[in-house]
Amino acid sequence: MKTSVLINKGWQAIVLAIALSMPAVQAAEMEQTVPLFEAKTLSGQDFNLSDYLGKQPVYLKFWATWCSFCKAEMPHLNAIEDQYGDQIKVISINVGFNDSVAKIQQLFRQEGYDIPTIFDANGEITQKYQVVGTPHHILIDKHGKIAYRTFLATDQLDQIIERWVQH
């Protein structure tokens, strides 16, 4: 048990160091069409990213229950879902690495979260989006382009979401 805790803390330190050394990336720098995917949420709902193209933006948050930064940001994601869920599709994607559906469900029950969540058991979605650490936020505009990508929830992320819902 102690070894896994040390590995997780070491992993988080590495991710934080990378996150702090890399600026957030905006659409002007990326102009990348998103990889499409289909999956079931933990509540059994089908999610197909292509269903939202041309209709509404999508906010993907990649995370894990063992990531302290991820857990600290979950109230923010829950608030975005509560406030803008009709205008922006919010999807939490647990990276599946060293995690389980039971741990996710326990955390959500404990904290009262009701965020549509996909468990990426084999890491396929995580790999498609080239996510190398958690937390990882990706905002996809309604045209299917990545508009913003960042390791930590930022004011800029919130500003983009606010601009989207005002138009």
Contact by Cβ (8 Å): 41, 113: no
Three-state SS for 8? helix
Choose among 132, 134, 133, 164: nearest CA to 148: 164
pLDDT of residue 32 exceeding 90, the answer is no
pLDDT of 149 reads 96
Q: Report all structural domains of the chain as residue ranges with CATH numbers, in order of start.
A: 2-166 (3.40.30.10)
Range with lowest mean pLDDT among 1-5, 55-59, 62-66 = 1-5
Structural tokens at position 125: 């979605």
Mean of the pLDDT values across residues 78-84?
95
- pTM for the complete prediction? 0.81
CA torsion sign for 148, 79, 15, 49 is negative
pLDDT of residue 84 exceeding 90, the answer is yes
pLDDT of 167 reads 76
pLDDT of 143 reads 93
Sequence letter at residue 23: P
Contact by Cβ (8 Å): 164, 57: yes
* Residues counted in the chain: 167
pLDDT of 33 reads 78
> Which band of pLDDT confidence, cut at 50, 70 and 90, is reported for residue 28?
very low
